[in-house]
Amino acid sequence: MYLTPEEEKIFNGERGATYQKAIRILAALGDIYDADRLIPIRSAQIAGVSYKTIGDAGLEWISDLKGTVAVPSILNPAGMDRECWKEMGISQDFADKQERIIQAYRALGVEIECTCTPYHIFDNLAGFGDHVAWSESSAISYANSVIGARTNREGGPSALSAALIGKTANYGFHLAENRRPDVLIRVEAELHGSDYGVLGYIAGEMVGDRVPFFELVSKPSKDELKSLGAAMAASGAVALYHVQGITPESGKYEAPKEKITIEEKEIKEVYSSGEPDLVAFGCPHTSPDELEELASLLDGRKVKKEVWICTSRQIKEKHPELIERIERSGAKVFCDTCMVVSPASERFTCMMVNSGKAHKYVPNLCGVKSIMATTEDCIRAALGE
């Protein structure tokens, strides 16, 4: 991969070990994937934040870095709510190490907002056609598909490297030719809410890392697209999808020849019922509209089960009236974290979720049985009805 004279200097260590390490990671990726050069990015979203997932080795790696990010950069969810961690049942030792990880990122100039839905709170991170380096799989999918920005599936270290250099290697989804759809998915069902997470759960397994092009009967909202993309990135490795007439690049393409049909019966089969000891919402982190929906369903009622709603701190702070309505029911709103990346969910035996992504990850990453249900059924279970 070609490096400019300035990039060569960084590569040779003239700006110090951190920048050298960062550009070498980018150059290695560029060489592996045949990139021609580095291209400027508008923002970075950095995974590898929860102490549960990166452990002591990750903490040490980040703490050793010295420098400042070159573009707006924000963090993925951490392993705990930074204020209510005791209420989550997090140990002091975990909390101390988690806080050290966050402070190490802060020292590098990263914005300390730990969320997988940065697009709900910042509008300067990604626009149509912008190149970015994001690393949480649902955020990647949203950036590529719903915003029309361009990112590969970055890992934590490569997103941080891109943040420090302000550039990423030009390959994969940064190139127009790789954004064409490969397979048509025709959905013969009216979908609503969590059905989109179920659709993603089914479709991801079918298409792996290819680019699906959906023909839908119903018209999804942005939150529903968020659920669809998150689930497909978890059950498969889908980083980009198009929805005919809805997503911003869909009009450029004809429907692909290879066709899969998904019927209502297949969507319904993923749902089940049972007796959860935790009902969790907010995978990906909830938007204000989703909080409003949950508040309406909980108004004037009392939950009989442990209920968690995960969102970003800024959204919680901007909507105190919604949070109050929700918390009056006994449900808890946690920020900075989620039911998957926090070890706090591991003490439960059965979690009910309205998210296709959580449904895929909870059994493997938390060792907890998962039940997929609609938002309304999750609330009914939480109320003990």
The residues of the shown chain that bind ligand F3S, judged by CB under 6 A, are: 76-77, 116, 136, 138, 230, 283-285, 310, 338, 340-341, 357-358, 361
Decide whether 307 or 310 has the Cβ nearer to ligand F3S. Answer: 310
In which residue are the tokens 């009236």 written?
A: 321
CB of 86 to ligand F3S, least distance (A): 21
Closest CA to 70 of 19, 1, 116: 19
Q: How far is the CB of 227 from ligand F3S (least distance, A)?
A: 10
Q: Closest distance between ligand F3S and the C-beta of residue 329, in Å?
A: 21
| Least distance from ligand F3S to the Cβ atom of residue 146, Å | 14
- The amino acid occupying position 6 is E
Query: What is the distance between the terminal CA atoms of the chain, rounded to a whole angstrom?
Result: 61
Amino acid at 166: G
- To the nearest whole angstrom, how small is the minimum distance from the Cβ of residue 61 to ligand F3S? 20
Using CA atoms, how far residue 104 sits from 31, 66, 111, 205, 268, in Å, is 29, 9, 11, 37, 45
Decide whether 45 or 329 has the Cβ nearer to ligand F3S. 45
Alpha carbon 344 to its chain's center? 19
Minimum Å gap between C-beta 122 and ligand F3S is 16
- To ligand F3S, the closest distance from the beta carbon of 226 in angstroms equals 9
- Cα separations in angstroms, 7 against 18, 131, 166: 14, 18, 11
- How distant, in Å, are the alpha carbons of 38, 116, 192, 234, 282 from that of 141? 22, 11, 20, 11, 17
* Distance of closest approach, residue 139 Cβ to ligand F3S, in angstroms: 8
The two structure tokens encoding residue 300:
């004037």
Q: Which is nearer to ligand F3S, 172 or 284 (CB)?
A: 284
With beta carbons less than 8 A apart as the criterion, state whether 304 and 384 touch.
yes
At position 276, the amino acid (one-letter code) is: P
Shortest distance in whole angstroms from residue 365 CB to ligand F3S: 8
Query: What span, in angstroms and rounded, lies between the C-alpha atoms of 235 and 111?
Result: 30
Q: Closest approach of Cβ 335 to ligand F3S, in Å?
A: 11
Backbone angles phi, psi at 38, to 5 degrees: -90, 145
Which one, 45 or 152, has the nearer CB to ligand F3S? Answer: 45
Instruction: Between 183 and 283, name the residue whose CB sits nearer to ligand F3S.
Output: 283
Q: Which is nearer to ligand F3S, 67 or 77 (CB)?
A: 77
Task: Report the alpha-carbon angle 76-63-88, nearest 5.
Answer: 45
When the beta carbons of 144 and 170 are compared against ligand F3S, the nearer one is: 144
Kind of pairing, strands 332-335 and 242-243?
unpaired
For residue 23, which of 127, 161, 209 has the smallest C-alpha distance?
A: 161
Q: Which is nearer to ligand F3S, 67 or 193 (CB)?
A: 193
Q: Fill in the DSSP letter of residue 255.
A: P
As a whole number of angstroms, the distance between CA 301 and CA 325 comes to: 10
Distance, in Å, from the CA atom of 375 to the CA atom of 355, rounded to the nearest integer, reads: 9
Nearer CB in complex with ligand F3S: 157/166: 157
Of 319 and 357, which CB lies nearer to ligand F3S in the complex structure?
Answer: 357
